[in-house]
Amino acid sequence: MVASLYGVHEEEKVIWILLEHTNGRLENVSLEILSKGRQLADESDWSLTALLIGHHVRGLAEEAFTYGVDELWLVDHPLLEQFTVDAYTHVAYQALMEGRPSIFLCGATVNGRDLAGRLAVRLKTGLNADCTDLRLNAKTGVLTSEVTGFGGGVLALLESPEHRPQMSTVRPGVFPQGDAVGDRTGKVVEMQVELEKRVIRTRIVERVTGEGVDLTKAPILVCGGRGIAGKFEMLEELANLLEGEIGATRPPVDEGHIERERQVGQTGVVCRPKVAFACGISGAFHFIVGIENADLVVAINSDPEAPIFEHADYGIVGDALQVVPALIKAIQVSQGVNHA
């Protein structure tokens, strides 16, 4: 077995979390992992450190402290203004080798996945990708990461007892964000890193931000499956009335009825709405993981035996193509909307 660059006996009992940010704001996934990290650190009497990489990003430190960070390592450099995997790997590697944390976590985002994979190889350690839960054994210091495997058929618990740091990426929406506590503060450690332009093999020509929807922020989610036969306009009307968003299972996405960014589930988005409607959806595991954290689930399915009803707080057995329009009418009446 190849040894990691630093081992159990050289580690610091600290949980490190990478802070991702866009347009001067910390990403929700980073705040979610901070909240979980704080909980694990408290349970084990460890400390929590955030790694903030960028340029002119010092202002984000205050917000990180309100989410429970004890210490924030800041790497500020003009060449870090935009994420490039070469530059971020280069400096994160230097920071990790200096801080030697026992655990390093980051979001299972496009950039987080890219960075974590490269770092794990450089550090000669393992990487548990796309985790759905984390536990820390306070006695042994071993992190247990829960992941779904074999297409969602099994839940696997992964540990790296011999390698450091113990690295995991966590999917957005898996952990609740927790509350910021206004008067919390911490220490900023400004790190000087060596970074030269020649390290960066990519050149950012233009940054284009799509007008994409972020389903993880929707308080109400109206999801449609194969059973609604592509009638997403109907779901859109319901979602608009409730100030929510529409989502979908994989089949209607594959059939081109709706954009892929609206796919909910294991290979889609994991959401945490107040209310999730599941219309014409059977309730396959792959979909359920995307809504299981909803406060309330309402299922509409013509098959009384459909597995979705096992996950629903309210179940309506009926044809969604009739039930949803009736629901829309009832809501319009209750809202005093004139739809003559």
Given the rule CB under 6 A, which residues bind ligand FAD? Answer: 151, 225-227, 249-251, 263, 265-268, 280-282, 284, 286-287, 300-303, 306, 319-321
* List of residues 6+ apart from 338 with CB closer than 8 A: none
- Residue 160: how many CB atoms within 10 A of its CB? 21
User: 30 or 263: whose CB is closer to ligand FAD?
Assistant: 263
CB 68 to ligand FAD: min, Å: 31
Q: Which two tokens stand for residue 329?
A: 């009418």
CB 281 to ligand FAD: min, Å: 4
d(CA 103, CA 40): 11
CB 151 to ligand FAD: min, Å: 4
- Residue 229: how many CB atoms within 10 A of its CB? 14
- Residue 310: how many CB atoms within 10 A of its CB? 10
Q: Phi and psi (nearest 5°) for 170?
A: -120, 135
CB 174 to ligand FAD: min, Å: 14
User: 68 or 268: whose CB is closer to ligand FAD?
Assistant: 268
User: 47 or 263: whose CB is closer to ligand FAD?
Assistant: 263
User: 14 or 270: whose CB is closer to ligand FAD?
Assistant: 270
Calculate the alpha carbon distances from 103 to 59, 109, 147 in Å: 25, 18, 17
* List of residues 6+ apart from 207 with CB closer than 8 A: 82
User: 188 or 323: whose CB is closer to ligand FAD?
Assistant: 323
d(CA 66, CA 69): 7
CB 296 to ligand FAD: min, Å: 19
d(CA 96, CA 102): 10
Q: Look at residue 83 and give its three-state secondary structure.
A: coil
Q: Which two tokens stand for residue 57?
A: 């990003």
CB 330 to ligand FAD: min, Å: 18
d(CA 74, CA 24): 15
Q: Which two tokens stand for residue 129?
A: 């990708």
CB 216 to ligand FAD: min, Å: 14
User: 62 or 319: whose CB is closer to ligand FAD?
Assistant: 319
Q: Which two tokens stand for residue 255?
A: 């059939």
User: 29 or 72: whose CB is closer to ligand FAD?
Assistant: 29
